[in-house]
Structures are given as structure tokens and as C-alpha cells.
Structure 1
Amino acid sequence: MRILVIEDNKSVCAMIEMFFLKEGIEGEFVHDGLKGYSAFKHGSWDLLIVDWMLPGMDGVTLCRKIRQEGSDVPIIMLTAKDSESDQVLGLEMGADDYVTKPFSPLALMARIKAVARRYQKQKPEESAGIGTSFLKINKETREVLFDGVPVTNLTPKEFDLLLFFAQHPRQVFTREQLLERVWGYQYYGDERTVDVHIKRLRKKLGTAEKPLFHTVWGVGYKFDESVDGHEG
């Protein structure tokens, strides 16, 4: 496993490096955002750890640039910022997880392993595509196939919501979490839009025999292609 760590605090890097050695992880450490971006562009990485506050280029900008270029490499954000809006902003810019300083190295290693497992499980055969039992989704062309049949009537936000669910199968999300991760934190509080989009996706995708979107009563929604899931 090769991990690029972009963190300007050399003491933090030394601590992380020690645990990498114990876990057999190959790490490269860069202390500047611009140099970190260059290292990302010229290397092959299984995961990135990016500090929020960096010289040269801040971590949020770096994360956004990486996602705009189409890379789906997992990113864990490190930061001393712990407000909800900061966390949402980091996730909206493309981070997969968020660790607040000060943190336990053991906790960070657990997050790394969890993110890596999710990514490997969901990693498509082609970087631009996501494949599930019934769906084929191309992130670059924004094309969707359901049971081999093109789905051409999805709105941009319906596609974004579908892609997010397909990337997180069987995970239950509240309406607030979906608003934060798919719409953006500025839409926080308008939970009805989630219900509307789920209703539309149910009409356009899935059948009674193959339901895709399930209501978890009192919590929210999940994407599950198993036929025994309970759909509300």
C-alpha cells in the first residue's frame, strides 16, 4: 500500500511514518501543498492523507483539484478545524473521511484501513466506471445502464445521488447526511428535496422484484440491490 501524506507538521509526519513502518505501508511525506500536488500527479497512490492548512496550496483546494481531474483515489483530511460546516466543506470537496487533530495514531490507522477496504471493494474495473449487480455507471460520460438498458432521463442531481449511493452500498444515510454529501452544506435543512429525488429515482430505476432504494424507518435511506431489503 502506497500512501502520500501532505502535512506541514514534521512531528506529525514522523509519528505517522513510525506507524506506517509497523504496518508495512510505503509512505511519502511532503510538507507543501503545491509540492504535494506535484507528487500526486507524478506518482501512483492507494490513498492520500492531506492536511487542511498547508503552505503553497491549502488542503481543501488540493482535494478539489484532484477530484476535478477525475481521480477517485481515497483522501483522508487532517485538520484542527472541528466545526460541522468545516467537516461538510471537506467532504464536499471530495474527502472520503475526516480526522480532527489531535488524533490517536491507532485511530488514524483504523480509518486508513476502513477507507482502503471500502475503496477496494467498490473499485471498478475501469477508473471511469462503477459496476453493481444491476447498474453500470460511467462517471466521465454520466451514462447509466440498468440491466443493460440505457437510462437517459436522469437529471444531473439524480445522477449525483445515484452515484453516491452506488459508491456506498448498504450504508444507511440520514437525509441531512445526503444533503451534506450530495447537495452541499449550503442546502442544509431542506430535507424534503431528498425525499423528492428518492421518489424520482425509484420511478426511473429498479422494479418491484429489484428495488434499489430502501427506507430505513426513523433513520433515512440506503442503496441495496438484494431482493429481501425492505423498501418504504
Structure 2
Amino acid sequence: MNTKRILVVEDEPDMQSGIKDNLEFEGYEVETASDGKEGLGKILTNSFDLVLLDVMLPLISGFDVCKKVRHEDNDTPIIFLTAKGEEIDKVIGLESGGDDYLTKPFSLRELLARVKAVLRRTEKKETSNSSKKIEIGKLTVDFETYTATVNGDVVKMTSKEFEILQYLLKHKNATISRDSLLDNVWGYDFQPTARTIDNFILKLRHKIEDNPNDPEIIITVHGMGYRLVRS
């Protein structure tokens, strides 16, 4: 079994050292960065299985680091670490491309549980044998390689957009609540504002529907959630 490589981007020396020591004790290979610029450079030039990314960083914020990473089509899983606990900050973190969100102070047990959960979901995604390409609206999707095209042209999609689409497809014609999407795509019980999922659905509609303002594939079921009615 390959040792998992984790990057810890944290500007507080004691916090950085403590996380690094505990992860290494659990058998992970750990690198560190102390500001957003250094962290971004390491993410884009190295291969990591997971990034623990503080939000309040010098030079470049964690949210902006994540956005830049996703803009480069890098889908390395990211868990945000932050002292911020407001729901809007969690929403911003998830919408910028984060996979999970951990509010300081957190216990070592919770940190390790989140790390293992994200790595487990990543491994499951990588070993998926659903390799055939599927047409969903005007989009052709390959969920094994996480690529999407329209008339042969590559369409940029985040890992979360792929996973939401895959979950809706798996439950085709069933009405899926926003809470169900968040629990099953992000993997833990986080209560969002309606805007979180709605924004992802809006982006997907622009990539799938002929007319995103009059959707025929991802339908809103008012007061309940969404339904993928055909592919």
C-alpha cells in the first residue's frame, strides 16, 4: 500500500508542527508550507493525495489558493482549516472547490477522521469501473477519467460538479434533497444555505441544458430538491 502524501499549509508554527507530527505518527508522508503562495506552488508542482489548507494565510488566502488550484484543473482533495465558524465561510469554502471544512479548535480524532474519510472517497473514485462515456444533455461525461466534452471540445468541470452529476444520475428520476446531495457528495452532515447547492446546479445547467433558464434535464422540485429526468 502506497504511503499517502499530505501537504499542510498553515502559518501558525505550533499548529503546523502539531498536525505534521500527528499525521506522520499515523503513517502519512507530510510536507508543509507557511503561506498561501508557497502552498499554491507546492500543490501545482507536486503530487499530493490531500491538502490541509488554512484559510487565513499570508500572501494568498486559502480560499484563493483553492480557486487557483481548481482553475488549473487540479482536483487534489482539500480540507480547509480555519478559526472561522460562520456558515457563510463554510459555504464559500465548499463553493471554491474544497472537499471538507474543519473549524479550529478541533480534536486530533476529528482531524484524522476527516482525513481518512476524504482519502477513502478519493480511492473509491479512482477505483471506479464506470468507464463508459455517458451523454447527459449536450454533455458527454466519462466518470472514470472525470472528463467532459461538448462536440469534442473539453468542458471544465470541478470534481464536485462531477460528483453531484454522478449522484443525480445514479438516482435518475428520483427527487434528491439538497441535504442528501451535501451529505453524500461531501460525506458528512453539514447544514448549508440553499445557495450552496443551488449555485452548483446552476453551473451544471449551463453545461448540460440547451436552455439553462428553462431546464429539461435537471428539474427543480420546489420545496424538495432536484431531479435528473433524462440523460
Distance 2:44 2:160 in 1: 28
- The corresponding residue for 1:74 is 77
1:107 aligns with 2:110: yes
1:174 aligns with 2:173: no
Distance 1:27 1:162 in 2: 28
Aligned AA for 1:201?
I
Shift of 1:178: 6.6
Matches within 5 A, 1:207-218: none
1:201 aligns with 2:207: no
Go from structure 1 to structure 2 and tell me whether the alpha carbon gap of 1:68 and 1:42 turns closer, same or farther (over 3 Å shift). same
8 Å CA contact 1:124–1:131 kept in 2: the answer is no
Shift of 1:14: 1.8
Distance 2:160 2:112 in 1: 29
1:183 aligns with 2:189: no
Aligned AA for 2:60?
M
Per the alignment, in what secondary structure is the counterpart of residue 216 of structure 2?
helix
Query: Which one of 46, 50, 54 corresponds to residue 47 of structure 1?
Result: 50
Per the alignment, in what secondary structure is the counterpart of residue 78 of structure 1?
strand
RMSD: 4.1
5+ residue gaps, structure 2, are 180-191, 201-211
- The corresponding residue for 2:62 is 59
Distance 1:105 1:111 in 2: 10
- The corresponding residue for 1:36 is 39
- The corresponding residue for 2:141 is 137
Q: Deviations over 1:126-179 (max 9, x none)?
A: xxxx857966625987427xxxxx8xxxxx9xx999634245577964276674
8 Å CA contact 1:6–1:29 kept in 2: the answer is yes
Shift of 1:10: 1.3
Shift of 1:93: 0.6
Shift of 1:22: 2.2
8 Å CA contact 1:76–1:95 kept in 2: the answer is yes
8 Å CA contact 1:4–1:47 kept in 2: the answer is yes
TM-score scaled by structure 1?
Answer: 0.65
Distance 2:226 2:35 in 1: 40
8 Å CA contact 2:218–2:227 kept in 1: the answer is no
- The corresponding residue for 1:123 is 126
> Percent identity, aligned pairs only?
35
- The corresponding residue for 1:163 is 162
Query: Which one of 17, 21, 42 corresponds to residue 20 of structure 2?
Result: 17
Aligned AA for 1:117?
R
Shift of 1:182: 5.3
5+ residue gaps, structure 1, are 145-149, 151-155, 185-195, 204-214, 224-232
Aligned length: 189
Aligned AA for 1:40?
I
8 Å CA contact 2:36–2:58 kept in 1: the answer is yes
- The corresponding residue for 1:229 is none
TM-score scaled by structure 2?
Answer: 0.65
Go from structure 1 to structure 2 and tell me whether the alpha carbon gap of 1:202 and 1:161 turns closer, same or farther (over 3 Å shift). farther
